[in-house]
Amino acid sequence: MTEQMHKRVGSAEIAGILRREISKGTFVARDRLPPERMLAESYSVARGTIREALNQLAAEGLVEIRPGSGTYVAIGASEGTNPMVANAGPLELIDARFALEPHICRLAVLHGRLQDFDRMERLMEVMEAPGTDSVLFANADTEFHSVLAETTGNGLLIWIVSQINSVRNQEQWAQMRHLTLNEAIITQYNNQHRQIVNAIRTREPERAAVLMKEHLETARLSLTRAAAA
């Protein structure tokens, strides 16, 4: 068995990755992607592969390639999301999470397995790391709440939360993060995350739900406070 069958990383894979990155909000509309040579290095792939992937995205109208200048995310690139979802405001989002996440905690208590807790643990470690900036924290936080939803094993809830998270990655939310996420808030969030996970671990559904409500109340407060300023 000398054959290694290294998974062939092809243009389709790269195109898929970039598609996801764009729809996730890593690259926002009108922004310039890294040069082909740099993308090639970061994905450990030949430049020709990157070129082929970019040509696919260009054919889909997702990016615009300008020779000599760079490759830019097309203006209507992330319009795959629903208008209702795209126009959701911060308070609407918080209310929706208020509806969903406490009960998600209850269900997570019922279905939580060791591997779920491991994933949460890893994410909490990322969020608690000293050098974590607001962007890293926000990404880990979003994924943390996704894992919570996945723990329920309920495909419908998982999908709903993923849709909600797609809102959080919009452009306007980048500034919001910068305004609301100071060190004190992050510390508080980290404490609340730990408490929630502990409650789920010890199988206390109502306690987990209440803690999540408090967590969301904190988030709403820091939001309204930032809006006032």
Partner DNA sequence: ATCATTTGGTACAAAATTGGCATATTCCTT
Partner DNA sequence: AAGGAATATGCCAATTTTGTACCAAATGAT
| Residue whose CB is less far from a copy of itself, 158 or 181 | 158
**Integer Rg of the chain from CA:** 20
- 11 scored as a contact of DNA (CB under 7 A): yes
Stretch that binds DNA, among 37-45, 78-86, 123-131, 196-204 (CB under 7 A): 37-45
**How far is Cα 229 from Cα 225, in angstroms, rounded to an integer?**
7
Check residue 155 for interaction with a copy of itself (CB under 8 A). yes
Binding mask 40-79 for DNA (x = CB under 7 A): ----xxxxxx-xx-x----------xxxxxxx--------
Residue 71 in 3-state DSSP?
strand
Task: For residues 39 and 50, give the distance between their C-alpha atoms in angstroms, rounded to a whole number.
Answer: 7
Instruction: Pick the binder of a copy of itself from 52, 64, 95, 204 (CB under 8 A).
Output: 95
**Of residues 38 and 227, the one with the C-beta less far from DNA:** 38
Rounded to whole angstroms, how far apart are CA atoms 46 and 54? 13
Binding residue for a copy of itself (CB under 8 A) from 51, 74, 98, 220?
Answer: 98
Length of the chain, in residues? 229
Residue 51 binding target from DNA, a copy of itself, none, CB below 5 to 8 Å by type: DNA
In one-letter notation, the amino acid at residue 111 is H
Residue 69's φ and ψ, nearest 5 degrees, are: -110, -60
- Whichever of 161 and 181 has its CB closer to a copy of itself, that residue is 161
Q: Does 113 bind DNA (CB under 7 A)?
A: no
Distant-in-sequence, close-in-space partners of 200: CB < 8 Å, separation ≥ 6: 105, 108, 109, 112, 117, 151, 208
Residue placing its CB nearer to a copy of itself in the complex, 50 or 158: 158
Q: How far is CA 76 from CA 31, 56, 196, in A?
A: 12, 16, 39
Tokens of 107: 């269900």
173-186: b (≥16 Cβ within 10 Å) or e: eeebbeebbeeebb
Of DNA, a copy of itself, none, which one sits near residue 65, judging by CB under 5 to 8 A according to partner kind?
A: DNA
Task: Name which of residues 29 to 88 contact a copy of itself (CB under 8 A).
Answer: 30-32, 34-35, 37-38, 69-70, 72, 82, 84-85, 87-88
- Four-CA torsion 180, 147, 166, 35, nearest 10 degrees: 90
**Binding residues for DNA (CB under 7 A):** 4-12, 33, 35-38, 44-49, 51-52, 54, 65-71
Contacting residues toward a copy of itself, per CB under 8 A: 5, 7-8, 10, 12-13, 15-16, 19, 24, 28, 30-32, 34-35, 37-38, 69-70, 72, 82, 84-85, 87-88, 92-93, 95-96, 98-100, 102-104, 107, 152, 154-160, 163-164, 167
